[in-house]
Amino acid sequence: MTIQESAEMYLETILILSKEKDSVRSIDVAKRMNYSKPSVSRAIKNLNNNGYISVKEDGSIILLPKGEKIAKKIYERHEVLTACFIRLGISEKTAEDDACRIEHVISDETFEAIKKLL
């Protein structure tokens, strides 16, 4: 089952925030992604309804196994691609921006080849 790029971005953001904070809430996601609260609320509701996350009574967001798997995959791609682009002499900002776009569409085969090369 494939999910939309935007859903992958939300999951990745939740993962990153969970590494930085004890508790992740919708407002944290909105601030990090620079999205409106209503947009984030809709996305969180959809991710919750589809079993990617769980939202506790206190509003904290927890990645469920299938959401965590996707988040970790996208985050790894982001980290590896950014490092690769920086090694090629690309500025850190451009490397980050390009990795963020490419991480969602690169094939597993191509990504594994890049990872092996590094």
Are 55 and 67 in contact, with CB atoms under 8 Å apart?
Answer: no
- What pLDDT score was predicted for residue 20? 96
Q: Which of 47, 74, 75, 76 lies closest to 63, judged by CA? A: 47
Are 70 and 8 in contact, with CB atoms under 8 Å apart?
Answer: yes
- What pLDDT score was predicted for residue 42? 96
**Mean of the pLDDT values across residues 41-61?**
96
- In order of their start, the domains of the chain are 5-69 (1.10.10.10), 72-117 (1.10.60.10)
CB atoms within 10 A of CB 109: 8
Q: What is the pTM of this model?
A: 0.90
Q: Which of 105, 93, 85 lies closest to 9, judged by CA? A: 105
**Phi/psi at 61 (5° precision):** -105, 130
**pLDDT greater than 80 at residue 93:** yes
**Mean of the pLDDT values across residues 48-64?**
97
**pLDDT greater than 80 at residue 1:** no
- What pLDDT score was predicted for residue 2? 65
Give the confidence band of 3 by pLDDT, cuts at 50, 70, 90.
confident
Quote the CA–CA distance of 12 and 17 in Å, as a whole number. Answer: 9
